[in-house]
Amino acid sequence: EAGVAQSPRYKIIEKRQSVAFWCNPISGHATLYWYQQILGQGPKLLIQFQNNGVVDDSQLPKDRFSAERLKGVDSTLKIQPAKLEDSAVYLCASSSNIAVLSSYEQYFGPGTRLTVT
Amino acid sequence: DQQVKQNSPSLSVQEGRISILNCDYTNSMFDYFLWYKKYPAEGPTFLISISSIKDKNEDGRFTVFLNKSAKHLSLHIVPSQPGDSAVYFCAARDSGTYKYIFGTGTRLKVLA
């Protein structure tokens, strides 16, 4: 079974530029998560999708971050304009279906390391 | 407001000995607790979990213990191996929102 795919793996941009990350979850997984992991901290949830609907985006800085999951499969996360404090690893994860009690396992992609200079 | 805390940033253990990683939480609405292992430049990988209605779950060398009254869980690795050297994250799922809250991680180093 193929895992969660993310691209690019690394990105360096200047502040005020824009950037986009792509995620392809495990086939058939209904729930998709984007996390931000700042160095020395645990992953922090930015947004959670169930199919192509947003379940939780309470910690997404909506003035600069946006995310979409068209057709309930792939997802993109965009930052525009980037700030220095956005430097972090952006992790995508998927799980089968949050409505199914047993499907609590999340599977993570390798992440995208973003450096904003 | 840190709902999931891992108070030890690092831990060193001799190969063959037991590694004990600890995690404390504050939210009574968590229904599942999970441990993830993370190697450099990779995403976290699921290791073991425990439901809030259980007090122990074992999988090979890994055992997780849950003490609900103390709001504390621990991961035991016996015997520890050099390949276990990684950062371990404790995570908890909120039963109302299905949101996962992660701790800050503990870096385990197993010395050969």
Determine the pLDDT at residue A24. Answer: 96
* CA separation for the pair A22, A67 (Å, rounded): 10
Contact B45 A108 (CB under 8 A): yes
Q: How far is B45 from chain A (nearest CA, A)?
A: 7
pLDDT, tens digit, for every residue of A1-57? 679 999 999 999 999 999 999 999 999 898 999 999 999 899 999 999 988 899 899
Interface A-B: count of C-beta contacts within 8 A:
52
Q: What is the pLDDT of residues B42-64, one digit of tens each?
A: 999 999 999 999 999 999 999 99
Question: How far, in Å, CA of B45 to CA of A84, rounded?
Answer: 28
Evaluate if residue B7 carries a pLDDT over 60.
yes
- Rounded alpha-carbon distances, angstroms, from residue A68 to A53, B35, B112: 9, 28, 46
CA distance to partner chain A, nearest, from residue B24 (Å): 14
User: Which has more confidence, A30 or B106?
Assistant: B106
Percent of chain B with pLDDT over 90: 86
Identify residues of A whose CB sits under 8 angstroms from chain B CBs.
4, 31, 33, 40-45, 48, 55-56, 91, 93, 98, 104-111
Among B46, B49, B100, whose Cβ lies nearest the Cβ of A45?
Answer: B100
Q: CB distance B98–A110 less than 8 Å? A: no
